[in-house]
Structures are given as structure tokens and as C-alpha cells.
Amino acid sequence: MTTPAPRGRRNSHRKKQTRRRRLPMRYMLPLLFLVALLAMLMLRGYVHSEILADFRVRPPVATDRVPEQVLEGGPVIDARSTTEPAKTLRIPDHRIVLTFDDGPDPEWTPKVLDELKKYDAHGVFFVTGTMASRYPDLVERMVEEGHEVGLHTFNHPDLSYQSTGRIDWELSQNQLVLAGAAGIRTSLFRPPYSSFADAMDNKSWPVTQYIGSRGYLTVVNNTDSEDWKRPGVKAIIDRATPKHGKGAIILMHDSGGNRSQTVTALGKFLPEMQKQGYTFDNLTRALGAPSAHTPVTGFDLWKGKAFVWAVGVSEHITDVMVAGLAVIGVLVFARFGLMLVLSFIHARRVRGQGFRWGEPVTRTVTVLVPAYNEKKCIANTVRSLLASDYPVEVIVIDDGSTDGTADIVQRMRLPNVRVVRQRNAGKPAALNNGIAHARNDIIVMMDGDTVFEPTTIRELVQPFGDPRVGAVAGNAKVGNRDSLIGAWQHIEYVMGFNLDRRMYDVLRCMPTIPGAVGAFRREALGRVGGISEDTLAEDTDVTMALHRDGWRVVYAENARAWTEAPETVQQLWSQRYRWSYGTMQAIWKHRRAVIERGPSGRFGRVGLPFVSLFMVVAPLLAPLIDVFLLYGLVFGPTEKTVGAWLGVLAVQLVCAAYAFRLDRERMTHLLSLPLQQVLYRQLMYVVLLQSWITALTGGRLRWQKLRRTGVVDAPGATPSPRARTHERRPVA
């Protein structure tokens, strides 16, 4: 018999063309997102001196190649001329140029600026690119309040170790940040780890010459407060005070540690020196020279602003990721804790002596087997049903197969087996067609690639002894678990799906009856309108509808079904993409349950949040665990990061071992759990991200047929003839 469900070839061809145009972009978007995230993390590592930083500090060497006038000259070295010798400049008497290194710092720089503003004093801030890019508002404030800004390199390396290319990079990146933060360039430079002019040696002098050739004045100091040692406020003031009214360039710090003594010392030093007739100027004003600042315009300005913006984004992204990691940590431990406790309660209840759902269920049930091009599997599936120790009526609904699936079943001439043919209309239509042809009030549904054990159906229908039960979820098992991908899915099925279902059973908010093994009360299906075609996850959709209609949905742990899991990454991707997208559709479809009353409201306020958190949000955030592992391995702290990651893995291993024990599975497959957590988790994340993109862009996803090999038999079943290995079609 044939039930029409037309689907035009022209329309199908148009959809295929659309799909070919769209899918590559949806594959690209998750990849681009991951690349952008990695770039932001690398940028953050760069501006925190966690990569490309060189912390070597060279000891002093000989000074015989340094000009005498430099060693005995002033603290400002002008080596810009290519035709004349380098010259030095001194600060006039009764003038002080306060210089602050290593900033800006979000805590101490504002306090230093406040003290300077209070006494109408000015100075020079030699900023590093790493700090200025993270706190550009402070650089802008320095310029607005009349201070000068100088370069102190980007990453603060000892330049005597660096190539000219690296020196140029340090200078250009430092200038780029100043352009983005304050719209200026500067001609002032102070080398990291510099001291007085007479400390110049044969290694630092060539660097100073090169810096001069790039157009910079090199500014050292002739008075060191040594505030970085935190010697006390009085000691800082004593060391900073010039002798005999001489002018001075004083070295202080507004970053690099606790600078409370520096701030306090400024509050005393500034008014005292002003009383003695000193003025506090920036460098060029003290020397009577043109300003060190020149405005930046055009492309260079916007390039600087873009860099500063990107650094800000990288800082915020890290904050968001840390918050996300905290969320996933809470979700992971809460979920595992709930699963362990509630699955123990479930197992103790259903395995307790004398437990029963009600009167034993013995009446004949109808088993629906929707099939589309299942010639590799359909014979195994049907034979397993007829080997059942429970009375069954089997209906195979052939959904327009082109490989002779229906003919295979008919040629078997098995009792109590009927074949219903229909034009290709999809799985929901096939199931509804089967329900219409069923003769019994309990409907068992399975996939065409699944095989049942002899006791599966009897175990599956016993909960219907309770009149409140509208549907029962069985225990789906991965049959082809010998490959690595199969083993990973086996762990997922046992640990995730089945342990989850025990938890949801206790909470009375089971979100999904698996398509591979589930049973329904026909009355309940009729009340919710049968199997809906609104979503790609019709099993999740109908389960949620049953909850909202007031039916209980329970889990039968001994109703085992053996299904053929995807055997390649491509096939696994396709399956999980459909599952993820379909689950999102179902959640959205039933969202009104959150505000409704009665059973629907209970499911909406308990079940939907659980499903959203544990099946959508948690998998999307889970890779943060691995992202921070990589970040910690590269940037540190390595030991704490690895310890935290191993701690999460240990918790997962405990849960997995408990789940395997409940299901009486061999523990050997858990050897692949660490690799599963690293690789499989990333795949599921990308699939879920792609599903989000599809949902947000309004894309449509067609049912994706998986190719089967027919390799799965129920344990203890008589193996049926199957194609030789080289004849099996690979999973696509």
C-alpha cells in the first residue's frame, strides 16, 4: 500500500543547490570563530609579556668604545645626527624632570597623576606598550594634563641582546599604542634597565646610536630614587633630592609593584622642593626645546586605535572566558553530582526487591520500524524482533527506499510482519503512517539499523502497568564499538545518555525517548497529535509534548537495543548536527511551558532549564577547559593548569566508571576517555556552534540519511548473513 507524500524533483534539486552554497560557509564560520578566539588569546599573551618577551639582563662590560663626552655628559643623549658626534644635554639648575618608568598602572598611575596635578607639576612617563595598550585612558590623561610621554619599548627587553629588526619592532609597536591611545608620536626614549650616562658600555652604546639614527633622544637619569626597592618614604626623598640646587632627571616608577611609598614621597617632595625654588617641568620645556609630541593622523591613527581596541577586546574576551570557565565548572560538577546521586537513587529503586510498575503487561504490542534504504540492516532488525520472548506485531514502513528494503522484508515471509510502503516523506510521516496501521494500544518504535535482545520488548513495556506512564525510554547501546570513534560514542551513550536518563527519570523531566528504542501509549500519542514534523529531533519534540500533556516518561534500564553508530567523523558530524539543531528547535517550540501551570509548567521550569544548560550551554562552553589547558601550557601557570584539568578528568572518570558499573559494561573502553575528552569534545563543540549559527541565521537543515553497514547483532543472537567487509559501503 502507498501513502502519497509528494516531493518534487525540481524543488529537491533547488534545495540541493542551496545546500551546496550554504553548508561550506557554515563549516567556515565555526573555524573562523576558533581562529579569532585563538588570535585574541595570542594577543593577550603578547600584551602581558607571556610570549615574545625576553627577560635576559646583560651584566656590564667595558666602556672603551663609548665617547668620553657621553660618559661624562648629561642624562639626555642626542645621537640623531649622522654627520656630527653625539652630544649630551643637562637640565638647568633649579629644574627637575620627574620621570616614571614601566607604567601605566591602573592603581598607582592615577595616584601619581593626582599628586602632580595637586602641585601643578609636570614630568615624563616612559610607558611600555604592554601596559599602555591595556590602559590607554591613562596615557590620554597624561597628555591632556601636560605631561610628556616617552617610549620604554613594548615588552621591556634588554635591547643589547636584540637585533635591529627586533628593536624596530619594539619601537614601532610602542608608537602604535601611543597613536591609538592619545593620537601622538614621541621622540623620547628610555632603554629598559638603563641607569646613568656613565654606565653606558660597549654593548649599550651601539644600541643608543641606532636609536638616535631612528630619530629619538635617549633619556637616562642622573638621580635615582631607588623607589623600586621600597626603602621607605624618607629614603626615597633623600635619594631624589638634587645637590646644591642642580637640575636633575629623577627616576621613579609608577608601575611594577606596590608604589604606595612613591606616591607618599611625592606628596612631601613636591611642595618641599617648590619651596626651595625648584620647578617641575616636562623634558622639552626644561630644555627649551620643541615638544616631543607630534600628532598622528590618517591611517596610522586608525591603525593605532584598531590595535588598542583589539587589545581591549582580548582583555574582555579573557574575562568572558574565565566567567564561562566558572560557569562550565559549576555545570560540570553540578551535573556529575546530580547524576551520581540521582542515578544511585534510580538504580536502588528499580532494582529493589519487590519493585514493580503495576500489574504485569502481557498484551501484544506493535513495533514500528521506519526504514529508508536499510537493505544492509533490515533483515537483522526484523529477525531480532521475531526472536523476542514477548508477543509482537511488526510493521516495517518503507519510506520510499530505492535499494529494495521493502522487498527484502517481504521475501523473508515472516509471521506477524507487515510492510507498509509510502513515497519518501521523512521519518515522522513514516511513524505516523505506522501508528495509523497499528492494531495495538502500545507502540514500540525503533530505527531500521537497530536490533533488540529477546527480552528488550518485555522489559520496555512493563512500566505501562502504571496508568500514568505515557512513554518509556530504553537503553540504547553502541554495537560497533571496536573502532576509536565507536568506543568514544559507547562511552557517551553509557555515561551521558543513560546516566542522564536515570537522573531525568527521578526528576520526572526526561527530555528524549531515543529513536532507537522507545515505547508509547497510543492514547498519549493521540492526545499530542502524533509525531510532529516541526523539528529535526522528532523524538525530543514528542517527549516534551507528552510531559506538557501530563504523562510520565520513564527509563527502562534493561530494555537494551543495539544500534549502529556512525563510523566516520563526517557521518558523526552529520548526525550530531541534526540532533543539536533539532534539540534547539524543540526547546524553542516548547518554550511557553516555562510560564504555564500544571504538568506543563513543571516540565518548563525544571526540564527545559536542565536540557538547555546540560545539552546546549554546557557542551558549547566545555572546550574552554581545553582552551585554558593549552593557554596554561604555553603561558603558564603550567602546574596549576594541568592539575585543574586532570581534576576535571578525574571527576569525569569517576562518573564514567560508575555508569559502566550500573550498565555492567567492561571498563577497558574507559582507557580512551582522556583522548575522548580532548578530541571528541572539540568536535561536539564545533557541531553545536554550527547548529547555533544555523538557528541564528534562520537556515534550514534537511534530514540527513546515514549509510549503514549492517554489522550490529544483539549479544547472543545468531549472526545473520552479511556482506563481506570489502563489500560494505563506508559511512559518509
Q: How far apart are the first and last CA of the chain?
A: 31
The residue among 649, 708, 672 whose CA lies nearest residue 485 is 672
- Going by the DSSP 8-state scheme, the letter that residue 464 receives in this structure is G
The DSSP call for residue 719 is P
Instruction: Determine contact, residues 510/557, Cβ cutoff 8 Å.
Output: no
Query: Within 13 Å, how many C-alpha atoms sit on residue 33's CB side?
Result: 15
- Residue 311's SS3 state is helix
Query: Rounded CA gap, 215 and 274, in Å?
Result: 34
Going by the DSSP 8-state scheme, the letter that residue 58 receives in this structure is: P
For 203-214, letters b (16+ CB in 10 Å) and e give: bbbebbbebbee
How many helices (H) and strands (E) in the chain? 27, 21
- Assess contact for 180 and 304: CB atoms under 8 A: yes
Query: Residue 687 burial by CB count (10 A; 0-12/13-18/19+): exposed, middle or buried?
Result: buried
Distances from the Cα of 70 to the Cα of 43, 82, 87, 160, 490, angstroms: 39, 16, 7, 18, 75
Cell match 612613591: residue? 262
Q: How many whole angstroms separate alpha carbon 100 and alpha carbon 217? A: 16
Q: In which region does residue 122 sit, left (phi positive, over 0), alpha (psi from -120 to 50) or beta (all else)? A: beta
Determine if residue 32 is left, alpha or beta; phi over 0 gives left, psi from -120 to 50 gives alpha, anything else beta: alpha
Q: Which three cell numbers stand for residue 622?
A: 566545555
- Tell me, yes or no, if 399 is annotated catalytic: no
DSSP-assigned beta bridge partners for residue 478:
563
Cis bond before residue 290 (omega within 30° of 0)? no
Which of 122, 152, 156, 253 is labelled catalytic? 253
Give the CA distances from residue 176 to residues 170, 276, 329, in Å, rounded to whole numbers and listed in that order: 10, 40, 38
Q: Can you tell me the distance from the alpha carbon of 364 to that of 316, in angstroms, rounded to the nearest whole number?
A: 62
Crossing angle (nearest 10°) for helices 260-275 and 108-118: 10
Q: Hey, is 597 helix, strand or coil?
A: coil
State which amino acid sits at residue 324. Answer: G
385 — phi, psi (to 5°)? -70, -40
Residue pair 340/655 in contact by the 8 Å Cβ criterion: yes
What is the distance between the alpha carbons of residues 644 and 650, in angstroms, rounded to a whole number?
A: 10
Q: Are strands 188-189 and 217-219 parallel, antiparallel or unpaired?
A: parallel
Residue 22 to residue 29: CA distance in whole angstroms: 11
Scanning the structure block, which residue is given the C-alpha cell 514477548?
A: 390
d(CA 409, CA 135): 73
The yes-or-no answer on residue 293 being catalytic is no
- Of 98, 481, 101, 462, the residue nearest 282 (C-alpha): 98
| Contacts (Cβ under 8 Å, ≥6 apart) of 671 | none
Catalytic residue among 101, 102, 281, 500: 101
d(CA 269, CA 524): 85
Q: How far is CA 131 from the centre of its chain?
A: 27
Stretch (H or E) spanning 560: strand 552-563
What is the dihedral sign for C-alpha 702, 706, 707, 713? negative
Q: Which phi and psi angles does 229 have, rounded to 5°?
A: -80, -10
* Backbone torsions φ then ψ of 355, nearest 5 degrees: -70, 135
Active-site residue set: 101, 253
